[in-house]
Structure 1
Amino acid sequence: MPSQVNALTASYARGRTDVPLIEQTIGDFFAAMAGRQGARDALVSRHQGLRYSYAQLHVAARQLASALLSQGLVKGDRVGIWSHNNAEWVLMQLATAQVGLVLVNINPAYRTSEVEYALNKVGCKALVSMPRFKTSDYLGMLRELAPELASCAPGQLQSKRLPALRTVVWIDAAGPGATGPGAAELDADQPGMLRFSQLMAQGTSADERIDAIAATLSQHDPINIQFTSGTTGFPKGATLTHRNILNNGFFIGECMRLTPEDRLCIPVPLYHCFGMVLGNLACFTHGATIVYPNDGFDPITVLEAVQAEKCTGLHGVPTMFIAELDH
Structure 2
Amino acid sequence: MSQKLTKSYIHVPVKTPFSGKSIGQRFNEVANQNPDKEMYVFYADKERKTFRQMQDESQQFAGGLLKLGLKKGDTLGVWGGNHYEWLLAYLASLQIGVITVNMRIDFPLSVQQEAIQKLGMKVVVLMRSPSDMCDRASQIIPELLTNSADNLNCQITPNLKYVINAGTNPCKGMIALTDFMEMGKGFDKSTVTKAIDQVDFDDPIGVIFTSSCRYALIMSFGGIGAQMGAVLPMIKSGTTIVVGPTYDAQLLANVIQDERVTGSTMLIHHLNDILNLPNFDDYDFSSFQACMSGGSIIPYSLRQRAAKITKHILLGYGATEGFAAMQSSTDPIEILHSTGYVPADGSEVKIIGDDGQILPVNEIGEICFRSQSLFLYYWGEEEKTAAVKKPNGWYHTGDLGTLDENGYLRVVGRKSERIIKEGINIAPGNLEKVFDEHPAVSNVMVVGVPDERTSEEVCACIR
Instruction: Indicate the SS of the match to 2:246.
Output: coil
Instruction: Indicate the SS of the match to 2:247.
Output: coil
Instruction: Indicate the SS of the match to 1:110.
Output: coil
Question: What is the aligned partner in structure 2 of residue 292 from structure 1?
Answer: 242
Q: Normalization by structure 1: what TM-score?
A: 0.78
**Given the alignment, which residue of 188, 191, 215 partners 1:236?**
215
Question: What is the aligned partner in structure 1 of residue 146 from structure 2?
Answer: 151
Structure 1 residue 121, shift from structure 2 partner: 0.9
Structure 1 residue 326, shift from structure 2 partner: 0.8
Structure 1 residue 105, shift from structure 2 partner: 1.5
CA distance in 2, matches of 1:131, 1:33: 29
In the alignment, structure 1 residue 223 sits paired with structure 2 residue 223:
no
Structure 1 residue 189, shift from structure 2 partner: 3.6
> What is the percent sequence identity of the aligned residues?
24
- Contact 1:26 / 1:94 at 8 angstroms: preserved in 2? no
In the alignment, structure 1 residue 312 sits paired with structure 2 residue 262:
yes
Question: What is the aligned partner in structure 2 of residue 257 from structure 1?
Answer: none
State how 1:244-255 maps to structure 2 within 5 Å. 244-245=221-222
**Given the alignment, which residue of 63, 77, 80 partners 2:60?**
63
CA distance in 1, matches of 2:258, 2:197: 41
Q: Classify 1:201/1:275 alpha carbon distance in 2 versus 1 (closer, same or farther; 3 Å).
A: farther
Question: What is the aligned partner in structure 2 of residue 15 from structure 1?
Answer: 12
- Contact 1:104 / 1:225 at 8 angstroms: preserved in 2? yes
1:6-51, CA deviations, whole angstroms, 9 ceiling, x for partnerless residues? xxxxx93101233213421111000000011111110110222211
Question: What is the aligned partner in structure 2 of residue 170 from structure 1?
Answer: 165
> Amino acid of the residue matched to residue 237 of structure 1?
A
1:143-201, CA deviations, whole angstroms, 9 ceiling, x for partnerless residues? 122222222221421111111111111222xxxxxxxxxxxxxx344210012222112
CA distance in 1, matches of 2:98, 2:16: 29
In the alignment, structure 1 residue 196 sits paired with structure 2 residue 193:
no
Question: What is the aligned partner in structure 1 of residue 134 from structure 2?
Answer: 139
> Amino acid of the residue matched to residue 158 of structure 1?
N
Q: Classify 1:64/1:299 alpha carbon distance in 2 versus 1 (closer, same or farther; 3 Å).
A: same
> Amino acid of the residue matched to residue 40 of structure 2?
L
Question: What is the aligned partner in structure 1 of residue 92 from structure 2?
Answer: 95
Structure 1 residue 206, shift from structure 2 partner: 6.3
> Which runs of 5 or more residues in structure 2 are unaligned?
1-7, 278-463
CA distance in 2, matches of 1:321, 1:284: 27
Structure 1 residue 126, shift from structure 2 partner: 0.4
- Contact 1:71 / 1:155 at 8 angstroms: preserved in 2? no
Instruction: Indicate the SS of the match to 1:305.
Output: helix
CA distance in 1, matches of 2:154, 2:200: 33
Question: What is the aligned partner in structure 2 of residue 176 from structure 1?
Answer: none
> Which runs of 5 or more residues in structure 1 are unaligned?
1-10, 173-186, 246-272
Higher relative contact order (CA 8 A, sep 6+): 1
- Contact 1:80 / 1:105 at 8 angstroms: preserved in 2? yes
- Contact 2:79 / 2:105 at 8 angstroms: preserved in 1? yes
Aligned length: 270
Instruction: Indicate the SS of the match to 1:239.
Output: strand
**Given the alignment, which residue of 142, 155, 160 partners 2:155?**
160
Q: Classify 1:33/1:131 alpha carbon distance in 2 versus 1 (closer, same or farther; 3 Å).
A: closer
> Amino acid of the residue matched to residue 235 of structure 2?
T
Question: What is the aligned partner in structure 2 of residue 119 from structure 1?
Answer: 116
Question: What is the aligned partner in structure 1 of residue 22 from structure 2?
Answer: 25
Instruction: Indicate the SS of the match to 1:288.
Output: coil
Instruction: Indicate the SS of the match to 2:122.
Output: strand
CA distance in 2, matches of 1:312, 1:31: 25
In the alignment, structure 1 residue 74 sits paired with structure 2 residue 24:
no
Structure 1 residue 306, shift from structure 2 partner: 1.5
CA distance in 2, matches of 1:160, 1:229: 29
The more displaced of 78-87 and 200-209 is 200-209
CA distance in 1, matches of 2:43, 2:148: 34
Structure 1 residue 132, shift from structure 2 partner: 4.3
> Amino acid of the residue matched to residue 219 of structure 2?
L
CA distance in 2, matches of 1:189, 1:102: 24
Q: Classify 1:155/1:277 alpha carbon distance in 2 versus 1 (closer, same or farther; 3 Å).
A: farther
CA distance in 1, matches of 2:61, 2:227: 20
CA distance in 2, matches of 1:316, 1:71: 38
- Contact 2:23 / 2:234 at 8 angstroms: preserved in 1? no
Structure 1 residue 209, shift from structure 2 partner: 0.9
- Contact 1:64 / 1:203 at 8 angstroms: preserved in 2? yes
Runs of 4+ in 1 over 3 A off after TM superposition: none
Instruction: Indicate the SS of the match to 1:222.
Output: coil
Q: Classify 1:115/1:236 alpha carbon distance in 2 versus 1 (closer, same or farther; 3 Å).
A: same
CA distance in 1, matches of 2:44, 2:224: 20
Question: What is the aligned partner in structure 1 of residue 252 from structure 2?
Answer: 302
Instruction: Indicate the SS of the match to 1:124.
Output: coil
